[in-house]
Amino acid sequence: MNGFSRNLSDIPNITLYDVFNYLITSRSDYDKKKLKAFKSCEDYRLFFDGHVEDLEYNCLSKDDPLCFFRAKVKPTQRDKTYLNENFYKSWLCIGKKHADLWSAYCTCVGGADGACRHIAAVLYEIEAFDEKSSTDGENRWMKRPRYHDCPVPIRRLKIVKAKYYTTPAKADINDNYDEFDLRADIPKMCDQKIASFYASLQEIDPKTQVLDLLETKFDEQDLLNSVNEQCSVLSIGKKLANFIEVKKLNYQSVEEVPNSICDTFLENISICEKDIQYVESHTYGQHNNPNWHIARKGMITASNFRKVHECVLNNRNPPYLHKVLMGQYGDAKSPSLVWVLKKEKCAMNLYRRVAGKKHFCMTIENYGLHIYKDKPFLGCSIDGILKCKCKHHCGTKIIEIKCPYSDREKLPNEVALSKGCILDGNGNLQLTPNSEYFHQIQGQMGIYGCKFADLVIYTQQGIQVVEDIVFDESFFRDMIEKLEFYSKYSLLKKMIVNCNN
């Protein structure tokens, strides 16, 4: 095939997400543990040690949706290949629009199906290509300098051999030292005392880091299996029931409930920061925690912001929405819900692997139900908050994970485009107000006071991240007004009638 060139100025935007998607879907030897240590695997070492040479690109025609790459990969174990050649030859067919790998072939023994380490090494090489500025002339592939190519004094020279991924070996024990415990001989605390100590610490400060040192069976499992009475007391439903009892209200239909009653109730409810943290810490685990279901009954949460907002705009009041907000559908798990609960953790692990390469001192924290202090009838349950020490605007970001069941077999970037995302001039995905996820993410950022968020879309083909979604304060304020209108004059009236009946 003619038309190959070393000019890489028009290549598709291949990222680490695309490389990881290929490794997970095409390579049976890759799992979560190995993906975490991908830099010690043989395919990455081939790329890092400079075994990929003569990378060339063929864009075919402008209207063609596919393009081709070819490269030579030098063997590691011997000077010649089994065909008595100096290099293995690799070809890759990649989609221009989504940078997805359509087909690949290598002349090595295991390269007929495109799932060998040489193909992966070429993908790493393409991903590592840096685009030059316009003053540097045409972009061409040049062999990258390696860290070990830097000249150093002889006394600082270290000769090391490449280490490949293996099962971690047991630590060597120095026979010259005796092992003994310096601590005093004190009886070990029983599980009940540890659990009590943990609970007392959590009452003082739910976010203290010392809680991370305790066994998880005394925090997460206890929270998931126990119903906390205080979460029920702080819920909108319980406060409304007390309000009805004090005012001795008795209405049999929604039409009988005056607007002034709803106004009075919302004006007199408030919540302090301590109670917000209490509910958030005791609803950890969200859907698997009974306290989470109790605390959110009667509350408009971020996942329903779009439905309520559109009902107010279109002057509609569907009965099913009342049942959803009041938690009357029970805990029945549909196939789509089971899929989401199962795959959210997998999506977060993939996101954590990739985001960890881009952020300095990154941590991701999980939370329960967070009540909006200004409007206690609103709240949200986020999938995580990313915190880092990067110099740019990162700081703190909301993470929202979506695992659409109906689109589980599609490419994640295709799903993102179908859900209302668009590509900007740089080829990056942007979330638009037309997206079904826009209201939820804007609501989460407004309630938590964050300026940025990442949307992670997961399918069986991998993940796609819509990065740095910016908080729109004017949109948030307008949405809050409509949510408050619905809560006052529709949802609360229905809840008052239900309490009387």
pTM for the full model? 0.58
Helix axes 236-247, 492-500, angle to 10 degrees: 60
Does the pLDDT at position 256 exceed 80? yes
What residue ranges do the domains of the chain occupy?
16-131, 335-470
Closest CA to 65 of 99, 91, 90, 18: 99
Nearest to residue 327, comparing CAs of 303, 344, 306? Answer: 303
CB of 291 closer than 8 Å to CB of 229 = no
Q: What is the mean pLDDT of residues 62-89?
A: 86
| Residues 123-149: tens digit of each pLDDT | 988 888 754 444 555 555 555 555 445
Task: Give the mean pLDDT of 282-303.
Answer: 88
Q: What is the mean pLDDT of residues 108-137?
A: 76
Task: Please give the order of strands across the beta sheet that includes 88-95.
Answer: 52-58, 66-73, 88-95, 101-106
pLDDT in tens, 27-64: 777 777 777 778 878 888 888 888 888 889 998 888 88
As a whole number of angstroms, the distance between CA 245 and CA 258 comes to 17
Q: Which residue has the higher pLDDT, 1 or 299?
A: 299
Percent of the chain with pLDDT over 90: 26
Return the pLDDT at 235: 87
- The answer to whether residue 223 scores a pLDDT higher than 50 is no
DSSP 488: I
Question: Domain spanning 335-470: which CATH class is it, in words?
Answer: alpha beta
pLDDT for 159-203, tens place per residue?
776 666 555 555 555 555 555 566 666 677 766 677 777 777 777
pLDDT in tens, 380-421: 999 999 988 876 656 789 999 999 999 999 999 999 999 989
Please report the pLDDT score of residue 370 as a whole number. Answer: 94
pLDDT in the model for residue 165: 57
